[in-house]
Amino acid sequence: MSEVIEYKCPACGAPLYYDINKKSMSCHYCNNVYDLEYIRRHFDEVTAEKQSDFDWVERTKYVFEPFEIEQLEGFNCPSCGGNIVTKASTATAKCPFCQHDVVISSDFSGDIRPDKVIPFRVESAEFADKYKAYVSDIRFIPKIFKDRSVLDRIVGCYVPVWEYSCICDSYIGSSYFGTATLKEFPILANENFIGKDVLYTLWPYNFRAAQEFTESCMTGFYASRYTIGAQHAMKSVDSEMKRIGSLRATYNLESKRPPKDDYSLYKFSEVKTNEVIYNRKLTYYLVPMWVMNIQHKNKKYTFAMNGQTGAMRIDKLPTTPLYGHIKPLVFLILLLLEIIFELIVYKVRGISFIDMLIPLTSSLLVFSILNYIIAGVVNDVLLRKTAKKLDVINNQNYFEVYDFVK
C-alpha cells in the first residue's frame, strides 16, 4: 500500500466521505453509497496484515517502543501532488491545496494496525445543539463561549486506546494468598491531543459494536496512532496491579490469624509478598470523539462528546469580573437609592442636615438588613442556573485501576 491513500468514488471519481447515518462511504456528487466491505475489496485494503497468532503482549518481548517525540512528516497528495505536512503520529490529513481528505495508511499498516474501530454513530450537529443549550442560559461568562463561530472548531477524532486485561496472583513465601483480576481497563495511547480526564469522562464505549479496522471510515476525521507503546501501557498498570495484589494478600493473611496470635511479630507494612501476573491481553482500539477547544486568556477549555453514545464532557467555564459581585453591587445600589429617598423626604419637610443625621443613620441601619436580604434573593435568581452549571464536578468521571479489578 502507498503511504497516503485517498478514497474516490468508483463511479465518478469524486472524493468519498464516511456517512455516519448510513454507516457507509458516500459520494456528494453522484450520491452513490458503498458499504465498508465493498470499499475494503475495491481499494485492496489489507485487513489481515498481522499474523493470525499476533499478540501485542508477545510483541513487546522483541519490539521496544519508547515514548515518541512528535516530529513533522511530509507526504504528496495523491490527488493534486501538493505537499502535506503533518505530525508523525497524525494518521489523517487534509490537503491544503485541493482540500481533499487523505489517510496516511503507513500509520495503520503491518503489526501497528489497530485491532478494532468503533465508527461514529452521533453527528456533530448533536454536539453543537447540546453545547448551545448548555451555555444559552449561563450568565457572566466571556462572550467567546456563546459566539456561534466557535462551533466551527468542532473536530471529529478517532482516539487510540489500549484495552488491558490480566490476572495477578499473590504469594507470601510459597503460600497462595489471593487473586486480583483486571478486566478491560482503558489506557489512553496518545496524550498529545486530549488528556485522560477527557477520555475518562466520556467512558464507557460499547466495544461489542466495534468493527474490524478499516482506514476508510477515518476519511474526513482527525485520527492518530498510538505514541505510548504496548510495553509502556502495561508497565504502568502492572505496577498498580502488584500493589493491589500485595494489599489483598496481606489482608487475607491478617484475617486468617488466630485471635490470640502475637501481632507484634508481624507488621502490615513489613509483610513481603510476591506477585505473578499472567493471562495478559491487550487490544488496540480507535474510538470516536467530537472535540472542541476554545482558547481564552492563554488557557485551553475542552468540550467533548462520545461519538458513539452522545455522552458530553463539559469543561469548567471562566467567568467575567462581574460574576461574584452581583450581591454587593445590588446591595450598594439599594443603599444609595435609600439615601437619596431619605434626603428628598427630609428636604421636603425642611429639616436641616444636622437634624436629619441621627434619624437618617438609624433608618439606614434598619433598611440595610432588608437590602441585604433583597440583594441575596436577586443574586440567587440571577445566578442559580449559572452557579449550578459552572459546578462541573458531577460531570467529570475519574477512575483508577482498582475500579476495574475483581
Determine which of 69-73, 198-202, 267-271 has the lowest per-residue pLDDT on average. Answer: 267-271
> What are the domain boundaries of the chain?
4-234+281-313, 326-390
With b for 16 or more beta-carbon neighbours within 10 A and e for fewer, the 167-206 pattern comes to bbbbbbeeeebbebebeebbbbbbeebbeebbbbbbeebe
Asked whether the bond before 204 is cis by omega within 30 degrees of 0, the reply is yes
Q: Contact, 318 vs 296, CB < 8 A? A: yes
What pLDDT, in 10s, does the model give residues 143-177?
A: 999 999 999 999 999 999 999 999 999 888 778 77
How many whole angstroms separate alpha carbon 262 and alpha carbon 255? Answer: 14
Is the pLDDT confidence value at 260 over 50? no
How many whole angstroms separate alpha carbon 205 and alpha carbon 226? Answer: 18
What pLDDT, in 10s, does the model give residues 298-314?
A: 899 999 999 999 999 88
Mean pLDDT (whole number) for 80-95: 84
How many whole angstroms separate alpha carbon 217 and alpha carbon 214? Answer: 6
Q: Which residues pair with 76 in a beta bridge?
A: 83
pLDDT confidence band for 278 (50 / 70 / 90) = very high
Q: Contact, 172 vs 273, CB < 8 A? A: yes
pLDDT of residue 125: 95
How many whole angstroms separate alpha carbon 401 and alpha carbon 168? Answer: 13
Top-confidence residue, 261 or 19 = 19
**Cell numbers placing 213:** 479496522
**Cell numbers placing 226:** 498510538
Mean pLDDT score across all residues of the chain:
82
Q: In percent, how much of the chain has pLDDT > 90?
A: 28
Q: What is the pTM of this model?
A: 0.79
How many whole angstroms separate alpha carbon 347 and alpha carbon 341? Answer: 10
Residue that the C-alpha cell 495477578 belongs to: 168
